Structure 1
Amino acid sequence: MKAEILENIKKYDRIIIHRHVRPDPDALGSQGGLAQIIKDSFPDKEVYMAGEEIDSLTFLVKMDEITDEMYEGALVIVCDTANSPRISDQRYRLGDKVIKIDHHPNEDPYGDLLWVDTNASSVSEMIMDFGLSGREQGLVLTKETARLLYAGIVGDTGRFLYSNTTERTFRYAAELIAAGVSTHEIYEGLYKTSEPLARLTGYVMEHFKTYDSGRVGSMHLTKDILVKYGVTVSEASLLVNAFSHVEGMLAWAFFVDEPDQVRVRIRSKGPVVNVLARQFNGGGHPRSSGATVYTAEDTQKVIEGLRRIVSDYTF
């Protein structure tokens, strides 16, 4: 599959790379890392990145301005996006061919060519794999590529703490560091915290709820709380794991009000939660999923469903 993707990249003169809405470090790291590999390896090609930007992550990479006409005859590659409705900038359909590169369960097999590896810690790890496998065919991995891919891997593994971290993850991380990555610079950029967010963290730690002897947790940040602390939805969502290390906790749900819906992030230390997420307009990894609800009644249903999953869970 990697060889076929490379052949398609060689074939097209213009390549536009997308990723999911509300991008995280892996979305931007894989998108930017792949773009950089193509630019460095094939200087004559036009390579663009599409999607909205998150202010806190523009230090990683910035998006390009793309007209509708630029999609004509272009190859489109979508990174780190399980479901087509979550692709940032739905103009991806205007391209000549679409390639999906992802590490989530392949519940929505969109695109003309798919490379899905659910064993990969991140799509940034997959792009590193792609770059290494294509070295003999002319692919180049520069320091800038290494910076982006390392940030993506760090983001999706929680600084190598999550269970998706493998021997391959560490091996690739070591190679990226050897390429000249400044780990201090990346950590400083990814984990710096504004004063409003730091104060909201205190609120979350004081007000999160627990159920079933602390095995299940939840937190709901309403519009009023976001306004009070001066924090955006995207910033607030960074606190999804704020209380995850509480002793005995196996799974938790983190709700954040958006203008017309409630965004739900569901996390787990063992129980499979993506089945629950799919019941509420979402999906994702077995232990890390997202969903969307619209009423207070549905937020309670998510919590009740999570409690059932945990109660049935055996180590």
Structure 2
Amino acid sequence: MILEEIFKAIESYDTIIIHRHIRPDPDAIGSQGGLACFIKDNYPEKKVYAVGEEVPSLTFLNRMDQIEDDVYSGALVIVCDTANQERVSDQRYTMGEKLIKIDHHPNVDPYGDIVLVNTDASSVSEMIVDMYEARPDFHMSNEAARLLYAGIVGDTGRFLFSTSPETLKKAALLVKKDFDRQILHDNLYKSSLHLTRLEGYVLQNFALNEHGVGCMKITLDLMESFSVTPAEASLLVNTFSNVENIKAWVFFIEEKDQIRVRLRSKGIVVNTIAERYGGGGHPNAAGATIYSWEETEQVLNDLNHACQMA
């Protein structure tokens, strides 16, 4: 059983380094930090590190460790919530002795010595709770529960989607622990005044065509005028998701030398579209990267075609 292989690996290594994907979201930080806490809760003698770039809006969840290259020598490395190797934050993840992948995205890039993928899970944070439930002798701290709950809440959109009875059972298990859910929710969903004003602009200026395809293009100049970063602008991807007759939508967010493509839908499969542009993700939530505004028209054509065929 794969879970037993993972537990055996964790027990066999004194140093464990946990990675996750670039541009992290609450599930990336929550599963990474929650797993680190979970291991330290039950193996206090082990050295456990969480690494990767920090996003200021999520430092309230967990801070990253700064480690030297030699720490990887003879270490176990675990990568959480990252479908593709190029999206691993901190590319030193290959420098350890053994590599484990834990993910809930389609397994298009099955890297690692041990691969645990469950596309039915709402989040990797939910998968870490599975690990806890598989070992009734294990302890879970309040801090581990806080991080894992944040990951589940983030990837289910506060339980609005991708929420099975099993997901709710695991969330119920976590909220029995002693952490302040109100403060956690407030921090997860707070918005700066600058971002709120950009949200208003998006609501006034997004496009919606006769096929039910919504679109918003956010340029660097536009973000500069609102004093918002590309990472912050990405948080607005669901701003107009409740508009009547919308089937799928795309945000194009310009960065210095590329354009981020954020695809979402209500049943239309969009990860196959993202894969055409070197990206991927879930059937109803995916992303990719393109390098010119001309390419945005092709992405829109692909999305229009998918909506027309549905």
CA contact (8 A) 1:212 1:307 kept: no
Partner residue of 1:309? 306
Q: Work out whether 1:233 is the aligned partner of 2:234.
A: no
Report 1:253-264 matches (<5 A). 253-264=250-261
Q: Work out whether 1:168 is the aligned partner of 2:198.
A: no
Partner residue of 2:89? 88
2:176 to 175, 178, 188: 178
SS in 1 for 2:122: coil
Whichever residue aligns with residue 26 of structure 1, its letter is D
Q: For residues 21 and 2 of structure 1, what CA distance do their matches in structure 2 show?
A: 25
Partner residue of 1:199? 197
Q: Where do 4+ consecutive residues of structure 1 move more than 6 Å? A: none
State the number of aligned residues: 309
Unpaired stretches in structure 2, ≥5 consecutive residues: none
Report 1:96-111 matches (<5 A). 96-111=97-112
Q: Work out whether 1:30 is the aligned partner of 2:31.
A: yes
Give the deviation of 1:65 after TM superposition.
0.5
CA contact (8 A) 1:3 1:134 kept: no
Q: For residues 131 and 232 of structure 2, what CA distance do their matches in structure 1 show?
A: 32
Whichever residue aligns with residue 227 of structure 1, its letter is E
Give the deviation of 1:181 after TM superposition.
3.2
SS in 1 for 2:246: coil
Whichever residue aligns with residue 289 of structure 1, its letter is A
SS in 2 for 1:59: coil
Worse-matched range after superposition: 176-185 or 121-130: 176-185
Report 1:1-315 matches (<5 A). 1-136=2-137, 139-162=138-161, 164-212=162-210, 215-313=212-310
Whichever residue aligns with residue 260 of structure 1, its letter is D
Give the deviation of 1:8 after TM superposition.
0.3
TM-score (norm 1): 0.97
Residue-by-residue CA offset, 1:32-68 (whole Å, 9 max, x unaligned) = 0000001110010000011000001000000001110
Give the deviation of 1:150 after TM superposition.
0.3
Q: For residues 293 and 243 of structure 1, what CA distance do their matches in structure 2 show?
A: 23
Give the deviation of 1:135 after TM superposition.
2.7
SS in 2 for 1:303: helix
Q: For residues 161 and 181 of structure 1, what CA distance do their matches in structure 2 show?
A: 22
Work out the percentage of aligned pairs sharing the same amino acid: 55
Give the deviation of 1:182 after TM superposition.
2.0
SS in 2 for 1:2: helix
Residue-by-residue CA offset, 1:185-225 (whole Å, 9 max, x unaligned) = 11101000100000000011011011125x11000100001
Q: For residues 294 and 188 of structure 1, what CA distance do their matches in structure 2 show?
A: 35
TM-score (norm 2): 0.99
Residue-by-residue CA offset, 1:80-134 (whole Å, 9 max, x unaligned) = 0000000000000100010000000000001110000000000000001111112
Q: For residues 205 and 181 of structure 1, what CA distance do their matches in structure 2 show?
A: 35
